Amino acid sequence: MDTAFAYVSVWTLLAFVLTWTVFYFTNMKSKATKLAETVAEERKDGATDVIIVGAGVGGSALAHALAKDGRRVHVIERDMRAPERMMGEFMQPGGRLMLSKLGLEDCLEGIDAQIATGMAVYKDGKEADTLFPVENNNNFPYEPLGRTFHNGQFVQRLRQKASSLPNVRLEEGTVRSLIEEKGVIKGVTYKNSAGEETTALAPLTVVCDGCYSNLRRSLSDNNAEVLSYQVGYISKNCQLEEPEKLKLIMGKPSYTMLYQISSTDVRCVFEIFPNNIPSISNGEMANFVKNTIAPQVPLKLRKIFLKGIDEGAHIKTMPVKSVSASLSEKKGVILLGDAFNMRHPAIASGMMVVLSDILILRGLLQPLSNLGDAHRVSEVIKSFYDIRKPMSATVNTLGNAFSQVLIASTDEAKEAMRQGCYDYLCSGGFRTSGMMALLGGMNPRPLSLIYHLCGITLSSIGHLLSPFPSPVRIWHSLRLFGLAMKMLVPHFKTEGVGQMLFPVNAAAYRKSYLAASAL
């Protein structure tokens, strides 16, 4: 009796295991077949591989890059007219390198773009030149020169280049929302130029609609923080002395810049803060420029600075925003450009970062024959987020620190940091070349930036303590050190300690994206 029961039990157990095994593998095969059919169906039914929302610098450059790889790209842009912006007018040497690697360097031709060799920096009657390093430039494999230009003309050249490819469809329309199914973005709803509500579907959607993005909130919890405002206008029919150098004036309440954006046009721009913005419509802003900002501009630049105001140039204000990069939990979508990550424009590096991002993203997507596998695309996006860090972390940290030391203050510790930054940047040699290589995107290494920020801090403390360390001077020095830590430490959290302190990632980035062999 016991033997028979044992036999029955064993055979019952074996039957159960066999049945479960057959069911499991049949179910897995069914799921795999269903996934393959779904992917194939998306590829077959959708005429588009990638939807790009926005045809600015980032959207147009990405469309061209993906189309060159054989992707079918649908770009939806709200306004196809040339944008009139006072940002995105300075291309750093690192940005030109990225542009060249994307096959878009010729978009800087035919728009009267001007050569930029560096900056002339002014403070309290002193002047110093800080140039992009030709030697000791960390083996930067490209011409160490920037370009300045009218942003709208550059964007139109990029759009023309992208739309010249047969697999790019560039359409004017306003995207209203994303189409989502079970956490996967399937496409967008938009109103076309005829005013009709319609939809566009694709396995991958790239949101690249700029600093005023209306889709960011549905993809990321990071809200744009308004730091200050930039006020700008153009003085026409004039040329700066030494037009190849951007003029940076460290004045009050913050900085003023003048730079040549064509052979006859000079951009004049300055920073003000939200609690004190004069009205443009009633003439208060023009008076503020004449009575408050202009007297701080060196005499040899003042005539050109006032020329635009005297001739009634259109004055524009634009909020300066900051957004830290974060990945969306939703699949089938990626944020890019100012919709994804913004930092202070004082270092003019936004275009350089987005072109670097495009170069990385393009390389990661190339091995994928089909973008319909949302899981694989999500893994690619996660890799992209990590690989971009050497460039983005360097630029984000530098932009935050540089913008803060440009702000004038009656606080002795803050002013000592500001003076220390000027002295360090303008001292020549390794200090100047190192800082300008960082500003120009020629050396995207967070650890190098930390080294120079520590150098500025120690130099400023030394200046505060001289000629002898009194108790008051020691107190201000401690406060100055605290200010420096407030500039730096938050970025360890935002960008990641490993990305900021360990040089392996920066070396890998340089090898993959800055090497001469990759040109």
pLDDT tens-digit map of 409-426: 999 999 999 999 999 999
45 Cα distance to chain centroid: 34
The pLDDT score that the predictor gives to residue 517 is 53
Residue 498: pLDDT band with limits 50, 70, 90: confident
Q: Tens of pLDDT along 348-358?
A: 999 999 999 99
Is pLDDT of 518 > 80?
A: no
Q: Cα–Cα–Cα angle for 463, 484, 90, nearest 5°?
A: 100
Is pLDDT of 198 > 60?
A: yes
Residue 294 has which token pair? 């202009």
The residue type at 461: I
Average pLDDT (46-60) is 93
The pLDDT score that the predictor gives to residue 428 is 92
Beta strands in 196-284 (DSSP E): 197-201, 204-207, 225-235, 245-250, 255-260, 266-272
In order, the DSSP letters of 70-136 are: T--EEEEES--SPP--SSS-EE-HHHHHHHHHTT-GGGGTTTT-EEE-EEEEEETTEEEEEE--SSS
Is pLDDT of 45 > 50?
A: no
Is pLDDT of 29 > 50?
A: no
**Residue 219 burial class via C-beta count within 10 angstroms: exposed 0-12, middle 13-18, buried 19 and up:** buried
Average pLDDT (322-344) is 93
What 3-state DSSP class applies to 208? coil
Contacts of 287 (CB under 8 A, 6+ apart): 278
The residue type at 395: V
Average pLDDT (379-408) is 94
Average pLDDT (335-357) is 95
Is pLDDT of 23 > 60?
A: no
The pLDDT score that the predictor gives to residue 40 is 40
Q: Tens of pLDDT along 218-266?
A: 998 878 889 999 999 999 999 999 999 999 999 999 999 999 999 999 9
Is pLDDT of 374 > 90?
A: no
CA distance 220 to 223: 8
The pLDDT score that the predictor gives to residue 501 is 82
What 3-state DSSP class applies to 50? strand
Q: How far is CA 21 from CA 8, 16, 143, in A?
A: 20, 9, 63
The pLDDT score that the predictor gives to residue 203 is 96
Average pLDDT (151-170) is 97
What does residue 258 show for φ and ψ, rounded to 5 degrees?
Answer: -130, 135
Is pLDDT of 59 > 50?
A: yes
Q: At what angle do helices 412-425 and 429-439 cross, to 10 degrees?
A: 100
The pLDDT score that the predictor gives to residue 92 is 97
Residue 487 has which token pair? 């500039």
Contacts of 195 (CB under 8 A, 6+ apart): none
CA distance 423 to 28: 67
The pLDDT score that the predictor gives to residue 121 is 98
User: Is the CB of residue 67 less than 8 Å from the CB of residue 161?
Assistant: no
The pLDDT score that the predictor gives to residue 16 is 57
Is pLDDT of 35 > 50?
A: no
**Residue 204 burial class via C-beta count within 10 angstroms: exposed 0-12, middle 13-18, buried 19 and up:** buried
Closest among 149, 116, 122 to 234, alpha carbons compared: 149
Q: Tens of pLDDT along 96-129?
A: 999 999 999 999 999 999 999 999 999 999 999 9
112 Cα distance to chain centroid: 24
Closest among 446, 325, 343 to 393, alpha carbons compared: 446
Q: How many CB atoms lie within 10 A of CB 289?
A: 22
Q: Tens of pLDDT along 277-287?
A: 999 999 999 99
The pLDDT score that the predictor gives to residue 18 is 63
CA distance 378 to 328: 10
Higher-scoring residue by pLDDT: 122, 327: 122
Q: Tens of pLDDT along 248-261?
A: 999 999 999 999 99
CA distance 119 to 242: 10
Placement of tokens 């060159």 in the chain: 68
Is pLDDT of 300 > 70?
A: yes
Query: What proportion of the chain, given as a percentage, has pLDDT over 70?
Result: 90
Average pLDDT (458-468) is 91
The pLDDT score that the predictor gives to residue 17 is 55
Q: Tens of pLDDT along 420-451?
A: 999 999 999 999 999 999 999 999 999 999 99
CA distance 66 to 50: 8
Closest among 208, 212, 174, 221 to 335, alpha carbons compared: 208
How much is the mean pLDDT over the chain? 90
Is pLDDT of 408 > 80?
A: yes
The pLDDT score that the predictor gives to residue 228 is 95
